[in-house]
Amino acid sequence: MKAGLMATLTAGVLAMPVSAQEYPSKPITIIVGKSPGGSTDLLARAMAQGGEPHMGTSIVVVNRPGASGNLAFNETADAPKDGYTVGAASNSLTLAPLLGETKYNYATDLEAIALVGSSPYVLAVHNDAEWSTLADFVDHATANPGAIKYGHTGVGTGAHIATEQLASIAAIDIQAVPFDGGAPMIVALLGQHIGAIMTNPLDIQEHVRAGTIRVLATASEAPVSDPLYGGVPTFTEAGYDLVSLVWQGYAAPKGIPEDVLQTLRDGFEKIANDPATVAVIEQMGFEPHYMGGEEFAQFWIDEQAALQVTLEQTGILQSIQEQKR
């Protein structure tokens, strides 16, 4: 009788939901959909260093490269809903579901934990260009449809889409010129073979510092803190509702018990705001940009909705689908 009662009690304890147990009680895994050494991997490893001091457990980074990060996030979505598996997310995961390439729609089928860093796209021109402001650029494009050529590194890339968003918002006609990488695109801008590029500020900072490239506007929510871009307005400040970021964040399987989810979010907030983590974010050329789980979730959904509209209005979606046939 006693043995049977003990077995029943033991089974009951084992069956208790994770929310009723002490969390975390074992290491947390961050799955990274990139090879070791890249920015997503390095940031995840910086976050992992904060596991013991801020969450009382170790955090292990596991790399699962392949399928543009989709393999890693499918694994994350399919993981047990116990708070011990987290995926390293970035804005590159926003597009794939819209193309029907993924098992899940990550923006809605995952539990957002935190956005920790971001870098805005910036509109840059040669320093000798006749446009000294975004207003000059738009006015010229309006008066001369199709005359301005801009570079991008591939149909459907973040910078390509951001430029087409600007063209749609400003009602201007500018011509896209594809390049096999950022380096030749910047060389073309320096040679004034194209009129503008939308790019990450880190990619052009040496040219901005040298005075050969000028930034007209940033696609950030607030002015960029780097003194190098002091005085450069955001697109929003200039009258164009455009925010487009390269961002890094974290998400987990949907359905984690609420108290466990809150503990996970609180822990990642502490880690993200740790000076050691902030230093790594800045070293990689990102702005420390913490966004809590609920805010991050809505941001991700809103970004995807805006992207869907842009892709359809500009014909980019059709172009990408045709290229993939």
64-121 per-position pLDDT tens digit: 998 878 899 999 999 999 999 999 998 888 887 887 778 899 999 999 999 999 999 9
Assess contact for 170 and 240: CB atoms under 8 A: yes
Cα 73 from Cα 62, distance rounded (Å):
12
250 pairs with which residues across the strands? Answer: 88, 114
Compute CA distances 102 → 113, 202, 249, whole Å.
21, 30, 19
Assess contact for 30 and 88: CB atoms under 8 A: yes
Cα 115 from Cα 289, distance rounded (Å):
7
What's the angle, vertex CA 54, arms to CA 49 and CA 57, rounded to 5? 70
Q: pTM higher than 0.85 for the full model?
A: no
Q: SS3 sequence, 48-73?
A: HHCHHHHHCCCEEEEECCCHHHHHHH
Half-sphere exposure of 247 (CA within 13 A, CB side): 23
Average pLDDT, the chain: 89
What letter represents residue 40's amino acid?
T
Assess contact for 209 and 220: CB atoms under 8 A: no
In 3D space, the residue among 266, 261, 299 whose CA is nearest the CA of residue 118 turns out to be 299
Which residue ranges does the chain devote to CATH 3.40.190.150? 25-118+247-296
What letter represents residue 106's amino acid?
Y
Q: Give the mean pLDDT of 309-315.
A: 82
252 pairs with which residues across the strands? Answer: 111
- pLDDT tens digit sequence for 231-256: 999 999 999 999 898 899 999 999 99
Cα 257 from Cα 254, distance rounded (Å):
9
Compute CA distances 179 → 22, 144, 219, 287, 322, whole Å.
53, 24, 22, 27, 19
- pLDDT tens digit sequence for 19-52: 546 899 999 999 999 889 888 899 999 999 999 9
pLDDT at residue 15 in the model? 42
Enter the tokens of residue 114: 């935190």
Which residue ranges does the chain devote to CATH 3.40.190.10? 122-243
Cis peptide before 24 (omega within 30 of 0): yes
Residues 6+ away with beta carbon under 8 Å from 199: 121, 122, 124, 159, 182, 185, 186
Compute CA distances 122 → 43, 193, 216, 253, 272, whole Å.
22, 19, 7, 33, 25
Enter the tokens of residue 76: 């994350």
Enter the tokens of residue 259: 């108290």
Share of residues in the chain with pLDDT > 90 (%): 65
**Yes or no: is domain 25-118+247-296 CATH 1.10.10.10?**
no
- pLDDT tens digit sequence for 132-180: 999 999 999 999 999 999 999 887 788 888 999 899 899 999 999 999 8
12: pLDDT confidence band, cut at 50, 70 and 90?
A: very low
To which CATH superfamily is domain 122-243 assigned? Answer: Periplasmic binding protein-like II (3.40.190.10)
Assess contact for 151 and 126: CB atoms under 8 A: no
Using only C-alpha atoms, the chain has a radius of gyration, in whole angstroms, of: 22
